[in-house]
Chains A and B, each alone.
Chain A
Amino acid sequence: MSKTLLEMKSITKTFPGVKALDNVNLKVEEGEIHALVGENGAGKSTLMNVLSGIYPYGTYTGDIIYDGKVCRFSNIKDSERLGIVIIHQELALVPEMSIGENMYLGNECGHRFSIDWNKTYSEADRYLKTVGLKESSKVLVKTIGTGKQQLVEIAKALAKKARLLILDEPTSSLNEEDSRALLDLMLSFKKQGMTMIIITHKLNEVSYVADKITVLRDGTTIETIDNHGKEPVSEERIIKGMVGREMTNRFPKREKTALGEVQMEITHWTVHHPLYPERKVVDDVSMYVRKGEVVGIYGLMGAGRTELAMSIFGQSYGTHFSGELKLNGKTVKMRRSESDAIRHKIAYVTEDRKGNGLVLSQSIRVNTSLANLKAISSHTVIDSDREYAVAKEYREKLRIKTPSVDQLVGNLSGGNQQKVLLAKWMFAEPQILLLDEPTRGIDVGAKYEIYCIINDLAAAGKSVVLISSELPEVLGMSDRIYIMNEGRFVDEMKAEEATQESIMAAILRSGKGA
């Protein structure tokens, strides 16, 4: 019988105007991996912030019982002293410093005024080996990839003598390979007796590693599911708890209307890297999309899909372009101009909505009209009323949850932000939409709504190019799938004939130097 390591009882936390946690209960046993799932805004991160002391004792009601004792943390150090270590979604490493320095930042070996560097580096090396990194701890953080940096974060937590490790979306910026490695690492830690809580959107990961799954919705505990059975818990089962309704289809049904003629086609499209012109980022790619068709482009990170899309969109990425672009059968000479592309009815919905998609400091209304100001102004004078009406119209259409279109976009949740981004491009009335990872970092409910929007766009005769690194999404939404690897298209499949295995096989084949 394993004992309960952590119990959070009746935790309630309110912020001005909103109750983030409402009598939440969580019980974690020693040596288990406990998954915390829920939609965005369900309260998962808030709960963990309460546990780790970021929200100190006094700002919440309820009890945290750790190792049988009631705890009153006033800051993170208090919880870390007891071995509760939280690794956040955003990597907290300083790129200019070495791994060793980073690992012991705030936790230095030696005395206050003289750091024992030898001890630091040798200890750091030890922990690095534990997480499976072969690098020396003297190496600078910025020289290793994101996957390895994530492992450094874990090593850093181990150096703090963690007993309860909390991982908040640990694989959000990792590719499939690194994600799998991290999950296996967690399983090996479990064997050594470490207790872990993982917060994640990726339900396949939950099924893979979790012993128990606690589902939060709207700030309350819905249920705790046991994953010890013979069969791992199905994703549908988890989704049902998260969303509160049967989601028989993760992807909305597509009405197979007759596809129109080819709307966009590129042949022998080659793009070189802007800083290193000898490197081909997109190499001799040819593809086409018909009216009413959804074409998926699947590939691993670094395959060049974003670069491909951006290069089509007014040459907004790259140098030394070659190849031909045909719109509706007519060859189009593209200049280095995004507004040209928009005039040609092409829209590019970026994967980095906060970085280069939305203006976070401006309102929903301003962001919505951004790509098509002409439509709401006469002779360069903006018609505020029309702009307001347009913003409200798209808020209805896309079901953006906000009381006012004057709300700043930076204050919205990820899902709502993505909807504003889509609204902006839909208002530009394009015929061809290049969607780059449109559901990244969005909860299940919002994802479904976006899938419905995509289907509506296709049904209206638009051509949709869906770039995604989620295999189920690509398979569930596309009519045809292009597979991209290292700048080249290595295969093209009809969606109904493709499977996850055949797609992965195509990539592996090409990687072997085919």
Chain B
Amino acid sequence: MERKEVLTLLKKNAMLIVLVLVYLFFLIITQGGIFSPSSFTELINQNAYVYILGAGMLMCMLTGGNIDLSCGAFVCLLGALGGVFMIVQGLGTGISILLMLLIGVAYGCGLGYLIAYIHIPPWIATLAGYLAFRGLGTSILSANSKTGSLAPFPVDFQSLFYGRVFPTEKGVFNWPCFLFGLFAASAVIVILLRVRSSRQSKGYEADTLAGVAAKGGLGGAAILLVTAKLAMDGGIPTTLLWVAGIILVYSFLTSKTTLGRHFYVVGGNIEAARLSGINTRRIMFIAYLNMAVLTSIATMTVIARSQSAYADIGKNFEMDAISACVVGGVSASGGSGTVLGMVIGATLIGVINLGMSLISLDANYQRVVKGFVLLAAVVFDILSKKRAK
């Protein structure tokens, strides 16, 4: 390929390349530790909330750089309430989940209404939540428990949001898992080929066969690798199903639906959107309602994993979600950004977090690394804006 083509290819996939490089870096530092099957499981389980919250944050940021500062604190509050429902009150798992979702919806509607129809700037509205919810959650916890945390959550709840699908012993090759991986990998390749042929028959620009081979080959290989590793660690983690499902849904939403299109247009030029007949207030409302619902789902995965609700749950979640989006190329002024970008950003952050804990990096240095990553993301955003000018 020509030199110029290589350069543009590099630029387009810059973040993916960074991800691979960082992964290789940690591969060396952890002496292969990060490549073990249990690491893959840990990456998914530990990082699930970033993917889920990231999807919600992406939708908010698309509308014009709006964010939700309250999601972390809300996880604490909702987790505490969940603990009260399931552990203290002994309500059934199904009812508790329903109640938690309802509370999430209620919060989302309230927040959405304040932001979209009363025109309170999002960062102020969600800042209030950030300051208030954790305190609220902590007091609920201390009112209901001597230790300040509630545990354990019922088994059926945990198996819904944590654990494995078709579990096997670790070290025994989990065939359902691997077959699932084969299916997914071949699905990717088939879809790429079909899109290409349909585009060609209609006379549009389509990828070259080499391009499809590259994308399909790399993507398929990655999927097979991950599922193979997971297969050696007991099978598909339940959280992966939630995360994958959400990612697929939101990918479809943002790229193929009119609603998704509305989000991009509102972020691109809200006045033009309004004058084109888009109900801009409704879009803002939906963005925050959606965020609250996703936050509720993330809460369930988090408390299932830690098997308890405690006061520090959710710390830094909002920053992780925002960082995942910014690193993943979601523009801080709205109107551009993709689910795939967010996923790459979230995975990058997850790899860094996991790598740091694998080498037992001192907590202080972990903070330093977090700071540098954030700085790098912001600088990258500023520079890419400058170049666009």
Contact = CB atoms under 8 A, between A and B. Distances in A.
- A and B touch in their complex, CB below 8 angstroms: yes
A76 interface: no
B169 to A, nearest CB: 43
A338 B277 contact: yes
B279 A339 contact: yes
Contact of A371 (B204, B257, B277, B336): B277
Contact of B265 (A338, A366, A380, A388): A366
Interface stretch (A114-122, A261-269, A356-364, A445-453): A356-364
A130 interface: no
Interface in A358-396: 358-362, 366, 370-371, 373-374, 377, 380-382, 384-385, 388
A182 to B, nearest CB: 30
Given A316-B274, A371-B277, A424-B276, A380 B269 contact: no
B275 A350 contact: yes
Contacts of A380: 257-259
B119 interface: no
A374 B259 CA distance: 11
A145 interface: no
Contact of A359 (B202, B257, B258, B265): B265
B264 interface: yes
Contacts of A106: none
A382 B261 contact: yes
A58 interface: no
Given A361-B335, A370-B265, A381 B271 contact: no
Contacts of B279: 339
B interface, over-half SS? helix
Nearest to B274: A338
Contacts of B274: 316, 338, 356
Q: In the complex, which of the residues A359, A362, A377 has the most CB atoms of chain B within 10 Å of its own CB atom?
A: A359
B268 interface: yes
A293 to B, nearest CB: 24
B273 interface: yes
A356 B272 contact: yes
Contacts of B261: 366, 373, 382
A27 B271 CA distance: 45
B194 interface: no
Contacts of B257: 377, 380-382
A124 interface: no
Contacts of A316: 274-275
Given A362-B265, A366-B261, A366-B265, A388 B272 contact: no
Given A373-B261, A380-B257, A382-B256, A357 B272 contact: yes
B277 A385 contact: no
Contacts of A370: 265, 272, 276
Contact of A382 (B258, B268, B269, B271): B258
A338 B259 contact: no
A484 to B, nearest CB: 21
A83 B72 CA distance: 61
Given A377-B258, A382-B257, A356 B268 contact: no
A380 B261 CA distance: 10
A127 interface: no
Contacts of A371: 276-277
A311 to B, nearest CB: 13
A32 to B, nearest CB: 36
Contacts of B205: 404
Q: In the complex, which of the residues A348, A384, A424 has the most CB atoms of chain B within 10 Å of its own CB atom?
A: A384
Interface in B112-152: none
A465 interface: no
Nearest to A370: B276
B269 A358 contact: yes
B48 to A, nearest CB: 28
B336 A359 contact: no
Contacts of B198: 385
A359 B263 CA distance: 12
A342 interface: yes
A355 interface: yes
A359 B269 contact: yes
B204 A388 contact: yes
B195 to A, nearest CB: 10
A367 B182 CA distance: 40
Q: In the complex, which of the residues A355, A373, A388 has the most CB atoms of chain B within 10 Å of its own CB atom?
A: A373
Contacts of A359: 264-265, 268-269, 272-273, 335
A360 B275 contact: no
Contacts of A382: 256-258, 261
A381 B258 CA distance: 6
B47 to A, nearest CB: 30
Contacts of B204: 385, 388
Interface string A266-294: 00000000000000000000000000000
A342 B277 CA distance: 7
A371 B261 CA distance: 12
A247 to B, nearest CB: 33
Interface string B250-264: 000000111101001
Interface in B251-301: 256-259, 261, 264-265, 268-269, 271-279
B205 to A, nearest CB: 8
Nearest to A410: B388
Nearest to B280: A338
Given A316-B275, A385-B202, A361 B258 contact: no
Given A338-B276, A342-B277, A371-B276, A355 B258 contact: no
Interface string B24-56: 000000000000000000000000000000000
A404 B264 CA distance: 21
Nearest to A369: B261
A381 B256 CA distance: 6
Nearest to A341: B277
A316 B204 CA distance: 38
Nearest to B202: A385
A339 to B, nearest CB: 4
A381 B198 CA distance: 18
Nearest to A357: B272
A61 B176 CA distance: 68
Contacts of A381: 256-258
Contacts of B269: 356, 358-361
27 contacts: A316-B274, A338-B274, A338-B275, A339-B277, A355-B271, A356-B271, A356-B272, A357-B275, A358-B269, A358-B272, A359-B264, A359-B265, A359-B268, A360-B268, A362-B265, A362-B335, A366-B261, A366-B265, A370-B272, A371-B276, A373-B258, A374-B258, A381-B256, A382-B258, A384-B256, A385-B202, A404-B205
Interface of B: 198, 202, 204-205, 256-259, 261, 264-265, 268-269, 271-279, 335-336
Given A377-B257, A381-B256, 14 more contacts: A339-B279, A342-B276, A342-B277, A355-B271, A356-B274, A358-B272, A359-B265, A361-B268, A362-B335, A366-B265, A373-B258, A380-B257, A381-B258, A385-B204
Q: Which 9 A-B pairs have the closest CB atoms?
A: A356-B271, A339-B277, A359-B268, A359-B269, A342-B277, A373-B258, A371-B276, A370-B276, A338-B277
